[in-house]
């Protein structure tokens, strides 16, 4: 199939262009459903006339449904997207881009989705879906899975689709609670993930950052200690990338601490550690959950992010640990290469 498409690309390039356009439209409907033609036109920057004619074609092929509420993708459409994904990635040069980023960072694997999150925020769903598919491909019975919090991780949890029951898997929060938005805290994401996997789970009912004495005391509470012990035995870690300046705000750190962290050249944050571009720790918080040594020894570490602004943070983290599988969007991957 790939060889045939490459031949067509040389002899009949307009066929490949048309296929890419229809694939992009079908994929965007799956990300934004239910969606109207005008909205679809604005997101993809394609004229409404073209969107109308192409969606009529997709409807006739049984790939989408059209209703008053908007267009939605059918089972056949989802199946076609899945079958075409690798082929389209190869034709569009994503496979080559994946290899370039992997080689530059020296990490285990890179998985990309086409497009730019910065110009199309709905792309985070596709990035999360890609991460969830890889996660399910490596997950084994008996694994302990640690997951961090945040909106990206919430998308990841919601993207998990499996009929298999992972009765021997235990899902735990990689971190304590951070902020006041319960929906994106790791405890909630752990609960959603566990439900999708039909697995066991443990919660960590403790703030992410505490004073040293308070941390020592709470860490000895039986339920908390039990969860922390599970975290230290993590087999699969799924986490989002944090930009240093954004994480200091999310943690509501005092201005003097923020100034100190940024002045030391911090570009990224992970597990309570702030790193400069070389991957050197420039500041460490007293946090609950996974520590740096555990992170370095985990069998599968899956980093999921979207957005060019986080490229430096990922580069910094890749200098700390090379055993990372990166899942991101095409534009962010190009930003990594440009650094």
Residue 130: left if φ>0, alpha if ψ -120 to 50, beta else—which one?
alpha
CATH classification of 2-91, choosing from 3.30.70.270, 1.10.287.70, 1.10.10.10, 2.40.10.10?
1.10.10.10
Closest CA to 199 of 232, 231, 175, 165: 165
Residue 87 is predicted with a pLDDT of 83
What the block records as the tokens of 169 is 């898997």
Q: Can you tell me which residue has the tokens 């997709």?
A: 58
* Residues 57 and 29: beta-carbon distance below 8 Å: no
Closest CA to 241 of 180, 337, 151: 151
pLDDT in tens, 283-329: 888 777 888 889 999 999 999 999 999 999 999 999 999 999 999 99
Residue 6 is predicted with a pLDDT of 66
The yes or no reply on domain 94-338 and CATH 3.40.50.1360 is yes
Residue 267 is predicted with a pLDDT of 92
Residue 252 is predicted with a pLDDT of 79
Domain residues of the chain, as ranges? 2-91, 94-338
What are the backbone angles phi and psi of residue 183, rounded to the nearest 5°? -60, -35
What the block records as the tokens of 166 is 């992972």
Residue 178 is predicted with a pLDDT of 63
Q: Could you tell me which residues come within 8 angstroms of residue 78 by beta carbon, excluding any fewer than 6 positions away?
A: 30
What the block records as the tokens of 239 is 């986490």
Report residues of the chain scoring pLDDT below 70. 1-11, 13, 178-180, 207-216
Instruction: Identify any residues that bridge with 209 across adjacent strands, giving them in sequence order.
Output: 287
């Amino acid at each position: 199939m790939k060889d045939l498409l490459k031949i067509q690309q040389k002899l009949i390039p307009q066929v490949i262009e048309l296929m890419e356009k229809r694939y992009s439209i079908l994929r965007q409907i799956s990300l934004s459903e239910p969606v109207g033609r005008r909205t679809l036109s604005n997101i993809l920057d394609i004229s409404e006339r073209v969107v109308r004619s192409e969606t009529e074609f997709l409807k006739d092929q049984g790939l989408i449904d059209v209703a008053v509420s908007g267009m939605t993708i059918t089972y056949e459409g989802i199946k076609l997207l899945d079958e075409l994904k690798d082929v389209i990635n190869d034709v569009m040069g994503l496979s080559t881009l994946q290899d370039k980023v992997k080689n530059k960072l020296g990490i285990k694997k890179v998985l990309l989705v086409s497009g730019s999150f910065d110009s199309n925020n709905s792309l985070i769903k596709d990035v999360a879906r890609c991460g969830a598919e890889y996660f399910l491909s490596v997950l084994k019975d008996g694994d302990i899975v640690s997951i961090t919090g945040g909106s990206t991780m919430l998308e990841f949890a919601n993207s998990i689709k499996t009929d298999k029951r992972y009765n021997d898997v235990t899902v735990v929060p990689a971190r304590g609670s951070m902020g006041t938005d319960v929906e994106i805290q790791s405890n909630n994401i752990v609960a959603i993930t566990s439900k999708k996997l039909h697995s066991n789970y443990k919660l960590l009912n403790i703030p992410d950052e505490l004073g040293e004495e308070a941390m020592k005391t709470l860490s000895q509470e039986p339920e908390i200690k039990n969860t922390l012990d599970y975290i230290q035995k993590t087999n699969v870690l799924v986490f989002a990338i944090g930009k240093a300046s954004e994480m200091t705000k999310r943690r509501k750190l005092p201005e003097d601490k923020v100034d100190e962290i940024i002045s030391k050249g911090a570009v990224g944050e992970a597990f309570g550690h702030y790193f400069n571009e070389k991957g050197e720790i420039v500041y460490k918080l007293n946090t609950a959950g996974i520590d740096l040594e555990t992170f370095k020894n985990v069998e599968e570490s899956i980093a999921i992010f979207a957005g060019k602004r986080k490229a430096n943070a990922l580069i910094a983290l890749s200098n700390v640990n090379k055993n990372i599988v990166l899942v991101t969007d095409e534009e962010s991957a190009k930003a990594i290469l440009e650094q």
